[in-house]
Structure 1
Amino acid sequence: MPTTHQPWPVADFHCDVLCKMMLNSGLDFNHPELDVTGKRLEAGGVKLQTFAIYIPAEAGNPGMDHVARQIQIFQERIAAPKGGLKTLLWREEAERVARSDSREIWGMLSLEGVDGLEGNPFYADLCFALGVRLIGLTWNFANWAADGVLERRNAALTNKGRELVQRCNELGMLLDVSHLSERGFWEVMEQSARPPVASHSNAAAVFPHPRNLNDEQIKALIIRNGRIGLTFVPMFLQEKGSPPMDRLLNHLEHICALGGAEHIMFGSDFDGIQEHVIGLEHPGCYPALTELLLKYYPEELVKRWLFGSAISYLQANLPKKQN
C-alpha cells in the first residue's frame, strides 16, 4: 500500500504558503508553522505544487510590490538551489515532469486575485516574465477586473478585466475561475482561449457553499476539458468543525456522475485555512488520502486524480518555450 512504499506522485494546484512567508519574514520553507514545507512535499509524494500569490488585507493596499515580493520569496527561498524545487514554466517541462520517475519536486506560480496589478492589464506581461502561469481574476469580492463570488451584485468582468483576459490569451497565461462571481465565470469560460481551471472548489450540489461550483459550471468545465481541483477547506465540506476525510468522496462521486472523472485533480488550499480535514493537515498526508481512494476506486483512476489529470492539462495548455 502507499504508506509502506514510495508515495504515489501528486500534483496540488493551490496553496498559500507565500502569503504566510511574506507576512512573517522569519518563516523558512521548513518552519513548523507552515502546512506546506519541503520535507512534507517529499513525504507526501508531491511532484508539483502550485504556489498562489495572494495579498491579504493586513498587507495594506495591494500593489505590484506585494506580487513581486512573493515571487521573490518563491525564487530565493523555495526554488532551487536553496529550497530545492524546480520552477515549472513551459509545456516541455510539464512533459518532463509527467515522464520522470525521479524525486524532483516542481513549483508553479499562480496569482489569486489581480488586485496587485493596480488596474493595469499589461502587468500580466511582467508576471508572466517572472514565472506566473495561472491567474484568477478575483478573490471573493470585487476588484478592478471582476466581481468575486461573495459580491452581492454578481457582476461579470469590467472592460479592463476583459482586456486582461485577452492579454492572458496572447501570453499563454492560464485562467482560474475559483472565486469568480457566477456571471464572471461564464464570461471567462466564453473568452478564454484555453480551458480554464477551478483550482480549489468543490460541488455545490453536495454542500451549498458559495465557493463551490454548481452543476452547470462543473459541466461547462468538463465540456471545455478544464480541470476541477477538489479542495480540503472544511467550510466547503460542512457547516462547521473539522470534517472526516471521506467527506471529500461525496464531491468526487458527484463530479464523476456529471461526467468529470477525467477532469478531477486536487487543490488543497494548505496554509490558506485555519482548520483542516481530519487526516489531511499537510501535504505529507497525501498517502493517507491515496489509501482512502483505493478502497473505492481502481488504481488507474486514483493515479489520474492525484497527478495525471493535472499534469496532462499542463502538457496540453502551457505555452511552448520560445527559442
Structure 2
Amino acid sequence: MGMKAMQTTDFHCDVLWKLLENKQLSFVNDTSNKLDVTLPRLMDARSVLQTFAIYIPDEMEKSMVPILQSIDLFNRKVLTAPGVTFVRTSQDAAKLIHRGSIGAMLSLEGADGLQGDPAMLRILYKLGVRAIGLTWNHANWAADGVLEPRQGGLTKKGMAIVEECNSLDILVDVSHLCEQSFWDVVNKSTKPLLASHSNMRSVCNHPRNLTDDQARAMIAMDGLIGLTFVPQFVSSGGAATIDDVLKHVEHLCELGGKDHLMFGSDFDGIDNHVIGLSHPGEVNNLMEALLQGYPEQQVKAFFVDNTIGFLTKHLPKE
C-alpha cells in the first residue's frame, strides 16, 4: 500500500453550521471558496469517513428546529453527493475501508436544543445521530463546558442523558467539557468515550486540551482521542505548524495512546489554520511528516484503523 493510497478519516468538521448559516453554499461544488471540507477535497484526502457535527450558534434558538434543519441539510446536500454513504451501524463502518466510498456520520456538538428531554435524543438516534457532546464551551442544562467559570459537573439531567446514550449506543464526546464534567462522564458511562477534537494540554496549555490524567482515563476505557488542527490548541506561540501537531501525536503515544489516536480537524469551525493544513486536500502533508517518524502501519492506524475499528466495535448493530 503506497503513500498515495493511504486512506483517511476525520471525526469533526463544521460544514453543516456553514450550510445552516448560508443556504447558498454547495458541499459538492464550492465555487464561493467558503468551505474547507468539500467533496473534491475529501476525494483528494482519500477519505473513508467524515463526521459532520451539528452545531447551533448562540444567536439561533436553542431548540430542535435548527438541529433538524441541519440534519435536513445533511440529507439534501451531503448524502446526495456521489460516492457518499451514511454511516449508522457497525456494519456500515466495517465496510468503509473496502468500499472506497466516503462514509458520512452525524454528531451533535452541544445538547442545548434537546432541552433536557431524552425523547429528543431518541428521535435524533432514529435520524442517524451517533455521537453527542453534552455542551459547547459554556454551561447548559446538561453540563458545564470548559469556559464556564464555576466549573461544575453534570446535572441530574446530564447524567440521565449519558445513560440514555449508553443504552442507544450513541457515543459520548467529551471535547468541550470542563474537567469536573469530564470526570462525571467517565464515572457514569459504561461505554468508551471519545474526544472528537482535543489536543494534549501538557504540549499546549489551553483549557480545551486534555490533561495527561484525562488522556490516560480515556485510554484505560478504550476510548478515542481526535487530535485537532485548531491552531490555538496546537501551539501557544504564534503560528502553528505540522511539526507542532506531531508533538501532540508523540505525547499521546508516550502516554500509551497509539491505538487510541485519531484526527478531528475542526475544519470549517476555525478561521485560521495550521500552516500546510488548511483543508482535507492538505492532510497528506501531515501524513508525509508522520511517515518520517512512524512505521507505515502505525500511520495507517492513526488515520484509519483506530477510528474504523472503534466504530465497528461500538456503533449499534444493524
TM-score norm. by structure 2 comes to 0.96
User: What's 1:91 paired with?
Assistant: 90
Q: Which amino acid aligns with 1:144?
A: W
Q: Which amino acid aligns with 2:16?
A: L
Which whole-Å CA distance do the structure 2 matches of 1:10 and 1:36 have between them? 13
Q: CA deviation at 1:239?
A: 2.8
User: In the alignment, is residue 14 of structure 1 matched against residue 12 of structure 2?
Assistant: yes
Q: CA deviation at 1:178?
A: 0.3
Which whole-Å CA distance do the structure 2 matches of 1:163 and 1:109 have between them? 21
User: What's 2:298 paired with?
Assistant: 301
Residues 205 and 236 in structure 2, CA contact (< 8 A), matched pair in contact too? no
User: What's 1:120 paired with?
Assistant: 117
User: What's 1:25 paired with?
Assistant: 23
User: What's 1:45 paired with?
Assistant: 46
Deviations 1:269-296 (A, max 9, x none): 0000000001100001121111110011
Residues 145 and 158 in structure 1, CA contact (< 8 A), matched pair in contact too? yes
User: In the alignment, is residue 187 of structure 1 matched against residue 188 of structure 2?
Assistant: no
Match of 1:172 among 169, 174, 178: 169
Matches within 5 A, 1:56-135: 56-58=57-59, 60-80=60-80, 82=81, 84-98=83-97, 100=98, 102-135=99-132
Q: CA deviation at 1:2?
A: 6.2
Q: CA deviation at 1:193?
A: 2.1
User: What's 1:274 paired with?
Assistant: 271
Which whole-Å CA distance do the structure 1 matches of 2:200 and 2:236 have between them? 14
Q: CA deviation at 1:299?
A: 0.4
Which whole-Å CA distance do the structure 1 matches of 2:179 and 2:255 have between them? 19
**1:263–1:308 Cα change, 3 Å:** same
Which whole-Å CA distance do the structure 1 matches of 2:219 and 2:284 have between them? 27
How big is the alpha-carbon RMSD for the aligned residues of Structure 1 and Structure 2? 1.3
Q: Which amino acid aligns with 2:92?
A: E
Match of 2:201 among 182, 200, 204: 204
Deviations 1:147-185 (A, max 9, x none): 001111111111111111111111111100000011110
Consecutive unaligned residues in structure 2, runs of 5 or more: none
Residues 241 and 275 in structure 1, CA contact (< 8 A), matched pair in contact too? no
**1:83–1:53 Cα change, 3 Å:** farther
Which whole-Å CA distance do the structure 1 matches of 2:253 and 2:235 have between them? 20
Q: Report SS of the residue matched to 1:126.
A: helix
Which whole-Å CA distance do the structure 2 matches of 1:93 and 1:25 have between them? 29
Consecutive unaligned residues in structure 1, runs of 5 or more: none
Q: Report SS of the residue matched to 1:107.
A: strand
Residues 77 and 83 in structure 1, CA contact (< 8 A), matched pair in contact too? no
User: What's 1:320 paired with?
Assistant: 317
Q: CA deviation at 1:83?
A: 5.1
Which whole-Å CA distance do the structure 1 matches of 2:47 and 2:95 have between them? 15
TM-score norm. by structure 1 comes to 0.95
**1:2–1:240 Cα change, 3 Å:** farther
Matches within 5 A, 1:237-316: 237-239=234-236, 241-316=238-313
Q: Report SS of the residue matched to 1:319.
A: coil
